[in-house]
Each structure stands twice: as structure tokens, then as C-alpha cells.
Amino acid sequence: MFLVASNREILKGILTGNDRQEVTVDGDRTVGGRDHQPPVTTTAAATTKMAIPRLSLLPNNEHNSDNYEDLELEFSSSVLRSLERYLPPEILTANREEKAKFMSDILHKYISREECAKAIRFKNYREWIMSNYQPRFRELYKLDPESLLLPCFRKAVRENTEESFRRIMFEPFPGVYVFKMFQPDFFQKLLVEVENMRKWLHEAKLMIRKPNNKSKYGVVLDDFGMDIMLKPLVEDFIFPICKVFFPQVCGTMFDTQHGFVIENCEDRDAELGFHVENSDITLNVCLSKQSEGGEILFTGTRCNKHLKAGPKPEEIFEYCHEPGQAILHLGCHSHGAKAAITSCSRANMILWCINSLFREMQTYDNEFRDWCGQCAREKKEKKSQSLASKRKVKKRKKDMILLKFIRCFV
Ligand SMILES: [Zn+2]
């Protein structure tokens, strides 16, 4: 599900020249010293030292990449086609098989064979579901804004201003936005569809892929092809809101989304411990809830560096999620669902929106992050310490002047 992020890292690693190296070429034209090295053509006899052809820094946009669909490869044809435009001229003229081998060898430096095998298993799992599953409500698999979304929500997004968004939402706590966006019949239809998916998987004797490592009882909507509806929903309707309220996180657009439904009741994931999510922005829609209990407790935003910093009293906020409501918050806004009391059950649709560029920037940026509660606190403390020491220096200077002045009269 995070192949886009991985590809970006791969490409970044490649383009920054991480594969630049000199290797020893053996007499049989295989490369010695390391596994998975790109092939090097040489007429030299044994042990000639030469450089591996490097990828170009800029893509060759004029080049028409080959199609690799019919070859049995570990990497998808679309990834190879994208990478092909960066191939050096001497490799670009090689045949398809040679180019595929050259690119696969490079990619293997960034993705292990186990990860490749896992991705292929997941691809096959998804393709099998998509070609065999019969949806109960086909209208849930494409985005028709008029039948799916509330008119007031569509109007607010169309106007696309902070004022228009604030008109349909409230912010019960800083950084937590609550609003209604779906037509009333969406919730029941989605719940029936999810039950249908679960039943079908059970009858087909297929395992249900867990949506994340916290939830045991959930269904990944993307696996059934619902990402075709969720992607434009995120891009056309959720992103504009995020751009206004979380501009530092969402950049120019999210590059991945992960949609799933989770259920909580006394015997199904009764309590979810405090956690931050593998998302940059999270949309949490309450589909149904019976009886009381199971509130969400927010405990502060945390960057990667401060994940273990405990919550301060002013960061704790409890919210009672109601059916029909959507909550939008940062993925790093730590929270947990309180234990469901007897006979209480609820179902939520969760959408994780991911911006891999924002994640990369976090790796290189060591400054305080305004969106992290602990960073903001440390920045404030540093500022007040600096002010206190400046005051101290100033006072010392004043005392010296006063002392000099007194000495003049002694
Ligand atoms: Zn921080």
C-alpha cells in the first residue's frame, strides 16, 4: 500500500548517486564482490576495474519506454517504464530483457526480495478479489458526489475558503475538525457492503487482510476496488480542507491513501491503546454506534522524535464520536479508543492520507516542528531560557555601571 513512498525513496537514492561505485568485473562478464549488481559489458579479460553506467539525473521525456507486462518480473511494468527514462544512453539501446535486468538489479538494492514477494502476493490477492467479488452496491465503487455527499459539504468545498469550511464544521479542540459529509444512506450501504465482503472472503476461504497492526477486525476497502471511489474523494474533497487547516503536512497533494472499516465491540478490538497512525492526515467517519461508551481520547501531537513523550494535562481531550460525523486530524495526533462497555459496538470508516514528501522532509529537518506539541513546548522553553540569560547579562552590565559610578565618589 505504500509503494509510492517506497518508489520515491528508491528513485531519490538512485538519483543522489548511492549506486555510484567501482566494481571488479570477472572474466565471465559477471560482476564480482556483491550480489545483484547491474550487468556490465566489457571486452577486458579477468578483473578489469570499471564504473557501472549511472542513471541520468533528469528523465529523458522524449523516450518511449518499453512495456514489460508480458515478462515475468518482480517489479511492475509501470515502475520499470518510469525508471527506463533515467537509463544512461548505453543501456537505453539494449534489448528489453537486458534493460529489465539492469533496472531490477538496481531496485533490489532498495527493496529486498522478501518485500517483493510480499508485494506480489498482495497484488495477486487483490486481483483475485477484484475479478471474482460481486459488489452489493456498485454505486459505492465510483465517486458520484451528488448521490454520495451532502449538498452543504459540496458547496463548502466548491467555495474552498476557510470561512466556507468553518461554516460546516466545528473545532472542539485545536487540530480536531468535526463535520458531516456523507448522505444518510451511505452509512448503511457501506456497512452492508463490508458484511458482504467479510462473508464472501469467509466462503472463498481467503484470509482477511488486517488494515493495520492495531485492528484485528477490519476490512481493507482498497482490496475490493473501492480505492477508485476513495482516491478522488481524497483529492477533490478532503485535500482542499487539509490545505487550509494542515498546510504544513499535505504539500501539493497526497500520493497514497489507505481506506478501511474497523469494528469495535466487547469481543472485537474492545479497546485500542494510544497510538499515532501511519498517516499524515486521518479522516475517521463514524458509520454506526450502539449504546454509550467507546469515546476517543486525544493526547497530543507528536513528531517521530517525541513519540514517547507523555501527554500534558492541557493536551488531553475526550470526544464522543457520533454516527454520521467525520473527524479530521493529523495522523501524529496521538489517540486511543476507550474500552467499549457491554453491548456497545461501533463501526468506523478510516481514511489514511499519506504525503511521502512530508515524511522525507521530517528525516532531514531537525528544527522544532510547530505541529508537534512537545516541539512547541521545547521551543518555548528554549526561548524563555534565552530571554532569562539575556536579562541576566543585561542586569550584570547595569550592576557594573552602577559599581563604576559608586567608585567615582569613593
Ligand atoms: Zn516534536
Task: Look at residue 6 in the predicted model and tell me its pLDDT.
Answer: 42
Residue 340 neighbours by CB under 8 Å, 6+ apart: 264, 265, 266, 270, 271, 293, 294, 346
Give per-residue pLDDT as tens, 392-408: 888 888 888 888 888 87
Find the 403 Cα to ligand 1 centroid distance in Å: 45
Q: Which three cell numbers stand for residue 165?
A: 469550511
If you search the block for the grid coordinates 572474466, which residue do you land on? 27
Cα separation of 308 and 6, whole Å?
26
Q: Which residue has the higher pLDDT, 52 or 209?
A: 209
Task: Look at residue 50 in the predicted model and tell me its pLDDT.
Answer: 56
pLDDT reading at 20 higher than 50: no
Cα separation of 46 and 109, whole Å?
25
pLDDT reading at 196 higher than 90: yes
Strand order in the sheet with 345-354: 169-173, 176-180, 325-330, 281-290, 345-354, 256-265, 218-220
Find the 250 Cα to ligand 1 centroid distance in Å: 18
Find the 247 Cα to ligand 1 centroid distance in Å: 17
Find the 307 Cα to ligand 1 centroid distance in Å: 8
Q: Which residue has the higher pLDDT, 128 or 251?
A: 128
CATH classification (class only), 140-363: mainly beta
Give per-residue pLDDT as tens, 254-287: 989 999 999 876 655 555 678 888 899 999 999 9
Count other C-beta atoms under 10 Å from residue 45's C-beta.
9
Find the 315 Cα to ligand 1 centroid distance in Å: 14
Smallest CA-to-CA distance from 287 within 170, 167, 175, 193 is with 193
pLDDT reading at 2 higher than 90: no
DSSP string, 148-211: HB-HHHHHHHHHTSHHHHHHHEEEEETTEEEEE-B-HHHHHHHHHHHHHHHHHHHHTTPPPPPS
Q: Are 255 and 228 in contact (CB under 8 A)?
A: no
Q: Where are the domains of the chain?
A: 3-19+54-114, 140-363
Find the 369 Cα to ligand 1 centroid distance in Å: 6
Q: Which residue has the higher pLDDT, 80 or 11?
A: 80
Q: What is the mean pLDDT of residues 290-318?
A: 86
pLDDT reading at 32 higher than 50: no
Smallest CA-to-CA distance from 344 within 295, 269, 296, 291 is with 291
Find the 380 Cα to ligand 1 centroid distance in Å: 12
Residue type, 27: G
Find the 368 Cα to ligand 1 centroid distance in Å: 6
Q: Which helix (H) or strand (E) holds 351?
A: strand 345-354
Task: Look at residue 237 in the predicted model and tell me its pLDDT.
Answer: 97
Q: What band does 57 get if pLDDT is binned at 50, 70 and 90?
A: confident
Cα separation of 17 and 142, whole Å?
42
Backbone φ and ψ of 73, nearest 5°:
-120, 160
Find the 331 Cα to ligand 1 centroid distance in Å: 14
Find the 310 Cα to ligand 1 centroid distance in Å: 12
Q: Which of 53-57, 177-181, 195-199, 222-226 bottoms out in mean pLDDT, i.e. has the lowest?
A: 53-57
